[in-house]
Structures are given as C-alpha cells and as structure tokens.
C-alpha cells in the first residue's frame, strides 16, 4: 500500500513543476527595445556575439559595436571607404570581426583590435558582387552572384585570414543571383552548406561534402521577377529549415513568402497556415522559446509552431535579424542606424 503522505508530496511536486513550466512558456514577444546609435546609415550587416556584444555594418563604410548591450557604441569608417556598403559582418569577439562589401569594390576586411584598424584580406574582380557569408568556428564560406557560368563561392579555414575561390562552385543560369539584403542567404553546418538564389528562379543549392559537389533544389516561393524569391533562411533543427522572402517592391504582399523543409533542405513546400504579413528580408530561430522571428520593412512576425503559422507582433521594420551565438537574445538592424533587441 502506498504511503499517503509520500504520494501527496509527489503529486504536489509534479503539479508545482507543471505550473512553473506553464509560467515559463511565453505566448509571444512583447516587441523591440530600440537603441539610439551614433550613426544614421542603413545597417544590413549584423552579428550579435552575446547579449552584450554586438557588431553591425552598413553603408558609407560603417562599422559599429556595443560591449554593454546597447548602452554605449563604438563606430567608425573602414579604411576611409565612405562609399562602400558593408552588407555582412561576422563578429568573433570584442577584438575580432570580419566584414564583406556588396557591389564594387567587392572587399573583405578583418579587424583584430576592436575596429581601430582594418586589414584587407580579399578583393574581388570587377564582376564580383558578394551577397553573404557564414562562419562556423574557423571555417567560413561566402556566396556571390555568378561570374561567368558559375556561382562565386569563397572559403576560408583560418578565420578569414586568407580566402580561396572555389573551383567546385555549381553552374549558374543566365539571370541567376542571390539577395544581399541581410547576409542570410547562406548557411553552414559542419560539412553541409546551403545557399539560396532569387529573382527569375529561386532555388536552394546544397552540398553535403563541404562544397565538393552541389545539388540544385527547386522551391515554391514567389519568384519569376528580379525582385522576388528567397531573401533569408534559418535552421530550426538538423532536418527543419525555414525560408522567407517575397517581393521587395511590394512590401505588404503576403503571397508565397514563406517555405519550409523537413528533410534537411532536400525538398521544400509552401507554408499553408498564416503567412508573414509582407515581404521579409530576415529570419532567425530562437530555441529558448521555440520562436521564429521574421523581419522586413513593413514589420515583424513570429511563429511559435515551427513556421507553420505566423503572427505580426510589431510594426517596427528591419533589414536583418539574428540570435546571438550564446542563444540568449535576438537582435535586429535596419535603416537610419537602427539596432534593436527583442523584448520578451
């Protein structure tokens, strides 16, 4: 026969744990805490390292950094290049960051002293247009629009000190390109690499062997015009990936602007539930609350069911959104020097 006192204590503990779990589950984000920064440029490059250390980059050669969660900012112009748009940045720590420019000249710079000086690590040809880069430990991969008949892919294995142009890049069709809207059309997971094209056709290119071989995978996202396609995608788990986009010329158009893969990016289907409310240029996954956060110029949406349904929770618009490397916070960047942290 069970001890009635012991049994009562066990049931009380189970109920208490269940109630605590319910209290910890948040239904939706509250909004954004927007920080005043000392710059007024468009910031499409964004790399939160921790909830206190965040790097960003953008137009007019701008870099910017906070060490105290947005209270104070350091900033400057990279090597006097005030006409260059640095659309992606990878923050490593408080001293080290790597930036990439889009357009001409196509450049990669690195700082090892907190932004005081920047050293050029690569300069592309007159045909190069870089779209985004992704780092995992010391390995990095950069995607650029096609040059000639092949996509432009650069790789580094020494944390951006040196770069190589891949000779195994996939073939490209006339009119192919990728969007440099937020630096998030490329992902890497150990030996697996994915990148997205947009415009006349919007596909996922996938390599399972560190870029030695590539597979072109069609997607059902809105496409067919130069302004349409995938603008960003993120990994939810080993098998689940979610991509967002639409048409940047129609910011409020919510038509075929979100897709999902449940087999590691080998096939894609349209989201059949509620879609993000308009064109979205950035998306990231927040494991702490199992939220997906998508941003665009017309506002911010979230999903709490793995991307199957979306709800707009803020009218604030941004270009890019990323979680920090410690997975403890979500940050966004946009026009007029705006940087924000998700409030929840």
Strands (E), 10-113: 31-35, 43-48, 54-58, 62-66, 74-77, 85-91, 97-102, 107-111
Question: Following DSSP, what letter does each residue of 155-192 receive, concatenated?
Answer: EESSTTSS-EE-SSPPB--TTEE---SSS-SEEEETTE
What residues contact residue 278 under an 8 Å CB cut-off, 6+ apart?
Answer: 246, 251, 252, 253, 254, 257, 296, 297, 298, 299
- Residue-wise burial string across 240-276, b where 16 or more C-beta atoms lie within 10 A, e elsewhere: bbbbbbbbbebbebbebbbbbbeebbeebeebeebbb
Instruction: Count CB atoms within 10 A of the CB of residue 226.
Output: 14
Residue found by looking up tokens 């408080």 in the block: 94
Question: Following DSSP, what letter does each residue of 1-13 receive, concatenated?
Answer: ---HHHHHHHHHH
Which pLDDT belongs to residue 24? 56
User: In the sheet where 54-58 sits, what is the strand order?
Assistant: 43-48, 54-58, 62-66, 74-77
Which pLDDT belongs to residue 26? 80
Which pLDDT belongs to residue 23? 45
Instruction: Kindly list the averaged pLDDT for each block of 10 residues, start to end, along the chain of length 344.
Output: 42 41 70 95 97 97 98 96 96 97 94 97 94 94 94 96 95 92 94 95 96 96 97 96 97 96 96 96 96 97 96 96 95 97 96
Which pLDDT belongs to residue 27? 85
Q: Which domains does the chain have, with CATH numbers?
A: 29-343 (2.130.10.10)
Query: Of 95, 161, 165, which is closest to residue 130 (Cα–Cα)?
Result: 165
Which pLDDT belongs to residue 45? 97
Q: Copy the structure tokens of residue 33.
A: 């805490």
What residues contact residue 175 under an 8 Å CB cut-off, 6+ apart?
Answer: 199, 200, 201, 226
SS (H, E, C) 282-325: EEEEECCCCEEEEEECCEEEEECCCCCCCEEEECCCCCEEEECC
Which pLDDT belongs to residue 91? 97
DSSP state of 36: P
Q: Angle 288-294-300 (CA atoms, 0-180°, nearest 5)?
A: 105
Which pLDDT belongs to residue 10? 36
């Amino acid at each position: 026969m069970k001890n009635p006192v012991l049994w009562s204590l066990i049931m009380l503990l189970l109920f208490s744990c269940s109630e605590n779990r319910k209290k910890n589950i948040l239904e939706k984000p509250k909004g954004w805490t927007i920080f005043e920064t000392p710059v007024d440029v468009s910031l499409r490059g964004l790399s939160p390292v921790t909830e206190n250390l965040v790097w960003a980059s953008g137009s007019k050669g701008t870099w910017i950094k906070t060490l105290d969660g947005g209270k104070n900012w350091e900033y400057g112009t990279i090597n006097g290049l005030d006409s260059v748009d640095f659309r992606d940045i990878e923050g490593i720590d408080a001293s080290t960051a790597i930036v990439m420019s889009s357009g001409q000249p196509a450049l990669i710079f690195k700082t090892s002293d907190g932004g005081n000086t920047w050293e050029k690590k690569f300069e592309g040809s007159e045909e190069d247009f870089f779209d985004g880069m992704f780092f995992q430990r010391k390995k990095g991969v950069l995607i650029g629009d096609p040059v000639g008949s092949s996509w432009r892919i650069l790789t580094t294995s020494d944390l951006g000190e040196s770069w190589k142009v891949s000779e195994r890049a996939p073939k490209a069709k006339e009119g192919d390109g990728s969007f440099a809207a937020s630096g998030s059309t490329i992902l890497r997971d150990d030996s697996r690499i994915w990148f997205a094209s947009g415009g006349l056709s919007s596909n996922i290119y996938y390599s399972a062997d560190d870029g030695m071989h590539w597979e072109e995978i069609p997607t059902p996202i809105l496409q067919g015009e130069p302004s349409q396609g995938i603008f960003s995608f993120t990994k939810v788990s080993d098998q689940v990936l979610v991509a967002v986009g639409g048409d940047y010329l129609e910011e409020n158009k919510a038509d075929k602007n979100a897709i999902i893969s449940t087999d590691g990016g080998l096939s894609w289907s349209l989201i059949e539930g509620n879609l993000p409310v308009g064109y979205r240029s950035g998306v990231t996954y927040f494991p702490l609350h199992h939220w997906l956060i998508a941003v665009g110029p017309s506002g911010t949406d979230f999903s709490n069911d793995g991307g199957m349904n979306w709800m707009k929770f803020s009218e604030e618009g941004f270009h890019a959104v990323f979680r920090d490397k410690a997975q403890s916070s979500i940050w966004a960047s946009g026009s007029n020097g705006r940087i924000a942290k998700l409030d929840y």
